[in-house]
Amino acid sequence: MATSLAEENYLKIIYRLSENTDQGVSTNAVAELAQTKAASVTDMLQKLAEKGWVIYQKYQGVRLTPSGQKIALSIIRKHRLWEVFLVEKLGYNWDEVHEIAEQLEHIESESLIQKLDEFLGFPDRDPHGDPIPTRDGKMADQIYQPLSEIKEKMDCVLMGVAKDAAVFLQLLTKLDLNLGAKITILEINSFDRSLQIQVNSAAPIFVSHEVAKNILVKA
């Protein structure tokens, strides 16, 4: 059964919202990410339910069915592979690729995506450190911690980000906080939980708690 661009976007949003919960995803949460009205979301969820891609019950939220999850993971897989291609092969910065990949992720050709995966050397992470689903829909667990949870005087390595907004990624680039950066927690401010850190043995810098909680690291 063919899927429309809007349907694919909704399935991807529901998957994203359901990653860290066993509960149904609320209509309001979907509406917020989709940047539309709750009434419009309800109409779409009913259509997706009719096609067997979600289970939707009013006031109980929405869940993906196995077939809906398969579609969502396929879209995520294409998005993240295209991001790798744009950064590694075309020289884009990691803050420039999300919007372009949003367009490319809807290309239907499975053979093209398989050739792209092979061409890139079968990467398992995108430029933001997010796992890339396999061809059969398996997703590696996210095992990293927010920088905000690392204790004082500890060392860690930047492995990903929890937020891929361009302005956030541009800030990290300005601070030399790129994937693979080695970070030492020098001091944690007891008032606002801001951090003084050292990046790759450079001069110490300060980052806010808000920034730190969206940086994913491996201790």
**Residue 92: inside a domain, yes or no?**
yes
**Residue 15: inside a domain, yes or no?**
yes
Same domain, 116 and 152: no
* Distance, CA of 132 to CA of 171 (rounded, Å): 24
Final residue in a domain of this structure, among 14, 38, 64:
64
Final residue in a domain of this structure, among 88, 108, 141:
141
- Residue 198 pairs with which residues in a beta bridge? 184
In this structure, what token pair is assigned to residue 149?
A: 């949870």
Full residue range of the structural domain in which residue 173 is found: 145-218
**Residue 100: inside a domain, yes or no?**
yes
**Residue 158: inside a domain, yes or no?**
yes
How much is the pLDDT for 216? 97
* Distance, CA of 196 to CA of 180 (rounded, Å): 19
Output the average pLDDT for the chain. Answer: 94
Question: Which domain CATH number covers 199?
Answer: 2.30.30.90
Same domain, 151 and 130: no
The pLDDT tens digits for 22-65 are: 789 999 999 999 999 988 999 999 999 999 999 998 888 999 99
The pLDDT tens digits for 52-63 are: 999 998 888 999
For residue 2, pLDDT over 90 is answered with no
The pLDDT tens digits for 121-162 are: 999 999 999 999 999 989 888 789 999 999 999 999 999 999
Same domain, 154 and 129: no
In this structure, what token pair is assigned to residue 179?
A: 């994937």
How much is the pLDDT for 102? 96
**Residue 188: inside a domain, yes or no?**
yes
What is the crossing angle of helices 5-18 and 27-34, to 10°?
120
**Residue 109: inside a domain, yes or no?**
yes
The pLDDT tens digits for 184-219 are: 999 999 999 999 999 999 999 999 999 999 999 999
> Which candidate, 44, 47, 49, places its Cα nearest to that of 31?
44
Give me the number of domains the chain comprises.
Answer: 3
Same domain, 49 and 94: no
**Residue 70: inside a domain, yes or no?**
no
Same domain, 46 and 16: yes
**Residue 58: inside a domain, yes or no?**
yes
Would you say 133 and 139 are in contact if contact means Cβ atoms under 8 Å apart? yes
The beta strand positions in 29-172, using DSSP E, are 54-57, 61-64, 145-146, 155-161
Final residue in a domain of this structure, among 27, 43, 64:
64
